[in-house]
C-alpha cells in the first residue's frame, strides 16, 4: 500500500511554513507550545519576562533542529507588547499565527480578601494583556501574511463560578468575550480568533496554588472525569490545531481542554 501522500503530510507538520508568536513562552503551557509548534514546522518567536527561561527553551528548540528566537515582553506594558509582536516581522518577515498564553495568577481566596493591587495586576496582565497583544498581532498579520489565526488562553474557571480565584476567572471570562468579538470583527478578513479553556494543568501556577491550599490538585482531579491533571503538552496540542489550517472553519469558539470537568 502506498502511503506517500499521508507520509508527506505528516512530515510537513501541522504548522509548516508559518511564523508563530507565543506569549508566556518561558514555562508551562507556553514553553510546551513553543517546542510543539517548532516540531510542527513553524518558525517561532518566544516572548515572556524572564530571559533565562526564554533562552533555555529557545536553545532546546534549536538543538532539536527547530527555528526559534526570543524577545523579552511584559504583558502589562503596551510598548513592550507591541515591540515583541513587531519583532516577529523583523526576525522572520511575517506573522501568521499567535498564541497569547501569558498570564498571572492571584492569591487564592474569597474576593473580599483580595487586595486592590492584586486585582489590578490580574486585570492588567490577564485581560488587558491579550487585548494589547491581539491588537498588535492583527496589525502584523494584516501587513504581512494577510490571513492568519490567533488563540488566547482562557481557563475552565471562566466558565463557572470561581470563588477561590474570582479575579482570575473574571479576567479570563472577559478574554472569552474579546475572543468572540475579534472573531466576528476580523473573520471577513480571513483572521480566525479562538480561545482554549484548560482544566487542571500541571504548571507552576497550579503547583503554587496547591502549595498555598494543600489538596487542591487532588480535589480538582476528583471533579474531572479523566481523573487526572493535564500535561502542558496536551493543552499545546489543542492550540496547535486551532492555529493550523486544519481548523480553517473554526473561529469564535472557546475550546474546553478540561478532561471533562465541565461536561
Cα angle for residues 102, 190, 98 (degrees, 5° grid): 15
Q: How many Cβ atoms sit within 10 Å of the Cβ of residue 28?
A: 25
Whether 168 is a known active-site residue: answer: yes
Q: What pairing do the DSSP bridges indicate for beta strands 97-100 and 254-257?
A: unpaired
Please state, in angstroms and as integers, the Cα–Cα distance from residue 135 to each residue in 37, 74, 152, 153, 227, following that order.
Answer: 22, 15, 13, 16, 38
Q: Is the dihedral of CA 172, 180, 245, 262 positive or negative?
A: positive
Cα separation of 96 and 141, whole Å?
6
Number of H helices, E strands in the chain: 10, 7
Query: Cβ-count burial of 204 within 10 angstroms (0-12 exposed, 13-18 middle, 19+ buried)?
Result: exposed
Q: How many Cβ atoms sit within 10 Å of the Cβ of residue 142?
A: 16
Query: Which residue out of 168, 186, 207, 249 is catalytically annotated?
Result: 168
Which residue numbers are catalytic? 168
Amino acid at each position: 500500500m502506498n502511503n506517500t501522500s499521508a507520509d508527506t503530510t505528516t512530515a510537513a507538520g501541522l504548522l509548516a511554513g508559518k511564523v508563530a508568536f507565543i506569549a508566556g513562552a518561558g514555562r508551562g503551557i507556553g514553553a510546551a507550545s513553543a517546542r510543539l509548534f517548532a516540531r510542527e514546522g513553524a518558525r517561532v518567536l518566544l516572548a515572556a519576562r524572564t530571559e533565562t527561561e526564554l533562552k533555555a527553551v529557545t536553545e532546546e528548540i534549536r538543538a532539536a533542529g527547530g527555528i526559534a528566537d526570543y524577545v523579552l515582553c511584559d504583558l502589562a506594558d503596551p510598548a513592550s507588547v507591541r515591540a515583541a509582536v513587531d519583532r516577529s516581522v523583523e526576525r522572520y518577515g511575517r506573522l501568521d499565527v499567535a498564541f497569547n498564553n501569558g498570564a498571572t495568577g492571584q492569591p487564592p481566596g474569597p474576593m473580599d480578601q483580595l487586595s486592590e493591587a492584586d486585582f489590578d495586576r490580574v486585570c492588567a496582565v490577564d485581560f488587558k494583556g491579550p487585548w494589547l497583544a491581539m491588537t498588535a498581532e492583527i496589525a502584523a498579520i494584516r501587513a504581512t501574511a494577510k490571513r492568519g489565526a490567533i488563540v488566547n488562553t482562557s481557563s475552565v474557571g471562566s466558565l463557572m463560578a470561581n470563588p477561590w480565584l474570582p479575579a482570575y476567572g473574571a479576567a479570563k471570562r472577559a478574554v472569552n468575550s474579546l475572543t468572540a468579538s475579534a472573531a466576528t470583527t476580523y473573520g471577513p478578513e480571513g483572521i480566525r480568533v479562538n480561545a482554549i479553556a484548560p482544566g487542571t494543568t500541571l504548571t507552576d501556577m497550579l503547583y503554587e496554588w496547591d502549595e498555598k491550599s494543600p489538596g487542591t490538585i487532588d480535589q480538582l482531579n476528583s471533579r474531572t472525569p479523566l481523573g487526572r491533571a493535564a500535561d502542558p503538552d496536551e493543552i499545546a496540542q489543542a492550540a496547535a490545531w486551532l492555529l493550523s489550517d486544519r481548523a480553517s472553519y473554526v473561529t469564535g469558539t472557546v475550546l474546553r481542554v478540561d478532561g471533562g470537568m465541565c461536561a
